[in-house]
Structure 1
Amino acid sequence: MQTLALSTINPGHVDDISSSKNEPEWLKQFRKNSFSIYQELPPEVSPLYNKYTDAKRMDSSQISLAISPKGTVFDALKPRLDELKNEMHIIQAGSDIFRINIPDELKSKGLVISSIYDAIKTDGDLVRRILESSDPKEDKYTALNHAVFDSGIFIKIPKNMVLEKPIHIVSSISPDGNSTVSRNIVMAEQNSKASIVQELYAPKAAKQQAYMELLTVDAHPNSNLNMTTFEALDQSAVNFSTRYCNIQQDAKINWYLGLFGSLLSRYRTNFYLNGTGASADDAEIVFGDNEQSFDLAANLIHQKPSTEGKVVQRAVLKNKSRSLFKGMIRIVEGASQSKSFLSGRSILLDKDAKSDAIPGLEILTNDVKATHSASVAQVDEEQIFYLACRCLGRAEAERIIVEGFLEPVSRSMSYQVRAWIAYLIESKWNGTDLILKSDENLRSIVEVEEVRYKEADQLETHYKYR
């Protein structure tokens, strides 16, 4: 198996990847063009954000890319995969698709869960259109993914299908030392409805590894997608992820993002509201410690009238961790009666933690509602004192304050997603593995979250119908 450091890749390496996959000519040329763009672009293309970014923390001399790699699952993850064996899922181990499970009934009705390479063979024109819809000139790492992706996941929910249970995507870096570059696609056809839960993991490693992802979500008219991402990579790894969401008429995407692991997480999400009545709701939770960095960008691009967008981010930072939240609301000419909201807030638990927020507005039409907000603050010592008077130690008091800080974001989530986030936060406080496991602790959290807001709901119902 031939391997190369990311810092030494060249056009010949790109050709070797394409040849090993027996790719069509259009994809070979697409890779070559993207690689030339990758070589020309700086790590951060925006001069406004350049001085803030930590993208250079990725050591390209340590990141190994392989030709025809064979991925395996690391031992600590195997119990989680056993739990999912009867659920709808696709497991990505390194650059290999380890396992896929689709009920026969749903498969016969047109549900597709496959590797990107199987999708190229069976639906090449569709995949080509989606691959070429993202511009490699927008970002250096978008161009890199176009050029050297060696794996990928393709999910298509057919017209009018409503899935009662979620589709699980588990992606893990292989313990063989090689990084993963994945090109993922999710398509929800007209009137469909589905939930997708993505989990990202990495084993402990002596040198830096990377999970690099480019994900396109295509929501057709009147479709409804609930997307959840949990990033729980070991802190020896880095994670670069770019998401393009094309939301058509009356379609809706709810996205919940929980970032807990990796040395560096760089997420860029673009919501293109391309149809009247399109809606995007994005809730992001960050919990950093040690020297972790989180570089997040969320852009709401309103292309049609009567569209709605909302991004709410909350970051909790300990030790020397840091976060950067970049956001832009862009309402183009003609997209009147649109509503958009962008908010980034951070709480610093230690004096060496740091957070920056740079939200922006670009409004090119009238008759719209658009607003943004940002705040960064240390933990309130008066709140610590108040809780100390009730016989709580500082660490326990901080945890209660953090729960209250995150509660407005988690309230909009399902009880299961809230439970998963609470479990990962609990694991991080205790220094245990960041892997979802159905142990006694998780079951007790699920029980609490399931009934958490029922009393409030009953109160609202009482006054509504009184």
Structure 2
Amino acid sequence: MTTFTRDAVKKLSAMLNEPEWMLEFRLKAFEIYENTPMPATSDEAWRRTNIRRFKPDEIGPSVNGDAATSWDIPDFLGKELTGEEVGGSLLQIDGVTRQYELSEALKEQGVIFCDMHTAVSEHPDLIKKYFMTDCVQVSEGKFAAMHGAFWRGGTFLYVPRNVRAAAPLHSVLWSVNGKTFTHTLVVLEESAEAIFMDEYASAEEAAGLHNGVIELLVGDNANLIYAGLQDFGQNMWQFNHERGRVGRDGRLDWVTSMMGTRLTKAFQTLELDQPGSWGRMSGIFFTNGRQHLDLDTQQNHNAGDTVSDLLYKGALREKSRTVWQGMIKALPGSQRIDGFQANRNLMLDKTARADSIPGLEIEADDVACTHASAIGQLDPDEIFYLMSRGIPRKTAVEMSVQGFFDPLMRRIPFEGIRNRIFDRIVEKIG
């Protein structure tokens, strides 16, 4: 079995026929990976997530380029969810492109939408400029460095200045071999607009690993709606680094839905870099069994007159556990900012556990920053009331859970995405 070695990095780069500069990038990332210890519960960011059972070399990287030849993927994957005709679609199986389309309208606008390996070969100047430079960096930890060395597959979206993408774009990753290291890179230049939906799912096979990076770069006066829907099987370990950067008067509407994996540790960071920057983070999660989900969010106000709004809601069943650690940070001189964060958790079984840890780090004196968290159970009186009206208990529970998530669902601009997420929630209620 191939393991995480320097030779594996070289073999992967050769299999992909990469230019020398990308091989050099990978090898530098591998040096950092090799010299960075595996996270432990003695590290503050990892104190509530123990990964001692994770054995990366028993899984290994995806090197040889083989992907599942079967196209037997779930019916729900790839369905159009935005209420508009999709302008570009990309289906990857185990990081290898199997289907690809881009409309003539988007091509004429100069929109670039392709898999990351095509981007490396055909758009090297853009990739050199934006790939793990100003957004996520390989120095951010063991798994960021692992990704920089072994990344494979993913999506590149580039929208030129003053272009409003004519139609939404949609990317799907389906994993069978359980080794995925995809990279999503979205770049909107000044006054550009786009809608992009990114889906991830996998089969229930042997233990697998998803080590992903998501980079969302929103230029001055640009507007990006990004929805990431994760529904991996409960065999997967997921370690993600995700960051959005927003320029002057730019807007990022960032939706996250997490339903799957055995264990997830995700760092999700919003950087508001210039006056007028606006960012909204909406997170939905549902865990059951022995799932463990740890979301570490940051809202960094790097300039004054910026607005951030975070609302994460989760429901938990059986012996699952969730951790949310949130921080709003205002740098010195970042005056007149408005930052809000809230995490609310619904416990469907007494054996589940949720840790909710909001935080503020404010170094300015003219700000409006608030945070909130709550952990509660279903209201038995509410369930009794619904049942007294002839509604079966299962349906009553579903209605109550739907009511819990409804304020967050209203933030999602597309009914198709809302329906997809809630259908999956109903399945997990059981």
TM-score by length of 2: 0.92
Instruction: Give the letter for the 2:24 counterpart.
Output: Q
Alpha-carbon distance between aligned partners in 2 of 1:416 and 1:344, rounded to the nearest angstrom = 24
Return the offset for 1:159: 1.9
Return the offset for 1:303: 0.7
Q: Secondary structure at the match of 2:56?
A: coil
Indicate conservation of the 8 Å contact 2:4/2:60, yes or no. Answer: no
Does 380-389 or 322-331 show the bigger shift?
Answer: 380-389
Distance verdict in 2 for CA 1:45–1:245, change over 3 Å: farther
Aligned partner of 2:405 in structure 1 is: 406
Return the offset for 1:78: 6.2
Return the offset for 1:178: 4.6
Alpha-carbon distance between aligned partners in 2 of 1:46 and 1:250, rounded to the nearest angstrom = 40
Return the offset for 1:423: 2.1
| Deviation by residue 1:19-45 (Cα, 9 ceiling, x = unmatched) | 323333333232223223223233258
Aligned partner of 2:197 in structure 1 is: 197
Aligned partner of 1:230 in structure 2 is: 229
Indicate conservation of the 8 Å contact 1:43/1:56, yes or no. Answer: no
5 Å-filtered alignment, 1:141-220, equals: 141-173=143-175, 175=176, 177-205=177-205, 207-220=206-219
Return the offset for 1:407: 1.0
Distance verdict in 2 for CA 1:119–1:35, change over 3 Å: same
| Deviation by residue 1:42-82 (Cα, 9 ceiling, x = unmatched) | 32587333330144454424423232322236554264568
TM-score by length of 1: 0.85
5 Å-filtered alignment, 1:323-362, equals: 323-362=322-361
Alpha-carbon distance between aligned partners in 2 of 1:215 and 1:115, rounded to the nearest angstrom = 14
Indicate conservation of the 8 Å contact 1:59/1:208, yes or no. Answer: no
Alpha-carbon distance between aligned partners in 2 of 1:363 and 1:152, rounded to the nearest angstrom = 36
Aligned partner of 1:65 in structure 2 is: 61
Instruction: Give the letter for the 1:246 counterpart.
Output: R
| Deviation by residue 1:245-292 (Cα, 9 ceiling, x = unmatched) | 111111101111111122122221111111110111011011111111
Alpha-carbon distance between aligned partners in 1 of 2:77 and 2:38, rounded to the nearest angstrom = 38
Aligned partner of 1:258 in structure 2 is: 257
Return the offset for 1:164: 4.6
Alpha-carbon distance between aligned partners in 1 of 2:310 and 2:356, rounded to the nearest angstrom = 13
- Root-mean-square deviation (CA, aligned residues, Å) is 2.2
| Deviation by residue 1:316-335 (Cα, 9 ceiling, x = unmatched) | 00111110101111110111
Q: 2:45 aligns with which of 43, 49, 66?
A: 49
Instruction: Give the letter for the 1:166 counterpart.
Output: P
| Deviation by residue 1:113-148 (Cα, 9 ceiling, x = unmatched) | 112222222332321232233332322211110111
Q: Secondary structure at the match of 1:324?
A: strand
Matched, 1:11 2:6: yes
Indicate conservation of the 8 Å contact 1:54/1:293, yes or no. Answer: no
Alpha-carbon distance between aligned partners in 1 of 2:42 and 2:358, rounded to the nearest angstrom = 14
Query: Which runs of no fewer than 5 residues in structure 2 stay unpaired?
Result: none
Aligned residues: 422
Aligned partner of 1:447 in structure 2 is: none
| Deviation by residue 1:178-236 (Cα, 9 ceiling, x = unmatched) | 5011122111122121111111110121x111222111111011111111111111212
Indicate conservation of the 8 Å contact 1:95/1:182, yes or no. Answer: yes
Instruction: Give the letter for the 2:138 counterpart.
Output: P
Q: Secondary structure at the match of 1:404?
A: helix
Distance verdict in 2 for CA 1:392–1:200, change over 3 Å: same
Aligned partner of 1:120 in structure 2 is: 120
Q: Secondary structure at the match of 1:65?
A: coil
Aligned partner of 1:137 in structure 2 is: 139
Aligned partner of 2:111 in structure 1 is: 111
Distance verdict in 2 for CA 1:69–1:122, change over 3 Å: closer
Does 19-28 or 304-313 show the bigger shift?
Answer: 19-28
Aligned partner of 2:31 in structure 1 is: 36
